[in-house]
Amino acid sequence: MKTPLLSIILVLLGCVIGSYGAVMLKRVSAHIRQCIMHPIKYPQLAISLFFYGIGTVLFIIALKNGKLSLLYPLVATTYIWIAFLSIKMLNEKMNFYKWLGIAIIIVGVSFIGFGSV
C-alpha cells in the first residue's frame, strides 16, 4: 500500500496542532486549580485538550490510507514543533544540544520517509 501525500500532511498537521495543545497546557499549568474548579471562567484547559483531540483525530484519519511504518515516525516531529512553539509562546531558550537534537530528528524522519518510497 502506498501512503498518500494527504495522509502525511494530516499527520504533520496533527502534530502541529497537538504541540500547540501541549504548549497551552504548559501555560495552563500555573493556573490548573482555577481551570479545574472554574472551567467556564478559565476555559484554557478545555481548549488545550481540544487541540490534543483534534491532533489525534487527524492522525487516525491519516492511518486509514497510509502505512503505519511511515506515518508513525512523523510523530517525532512533535519535538520540533514543541521547541519552536516554546520559543515563540513561552520565551524558552534553545542551546546547541537542542538544535542538534532537532537536526537529528529531521535526518532520522527523512531517512525513514525515503526508505518507504
Tracing cell 531517512 back to the chain, one arrives at 111
What is the number of structural domains in the chain? 1
Give, as one character, the DSSP assignment of residue 2.
P
Greater model confidence, 116 or 64: 64
Give the pLDDT band (50/70/90) at residue 95: very high
Q: How far is it, in rounded angstroms, from Cα 23 to Cα 16?
A: 11
Burial call 80-93: b when 16+ CB within 10 Å, e when fewer: bbbbebbeeeeeee
pLDDT, tens digit (0-9, with 9 covering 90-100), for 12-46: 999 999 999 999 999 988 888 887 888 888 888 88
- Domain extent, residue 40, equals 5-115
pLDDT, tens digit (0-9, with 9 covering 90-100), for 41-78: 888 888 999 999 999 999 999 999 999 999 999 999 99
pLDDT, tens digit (0-9, with 9 covering 90-100), for 101-115: 999 999 999 998 877
Q: How far is it, in rounded angstroms, from Cα 74 to Cα 40?
A: 35
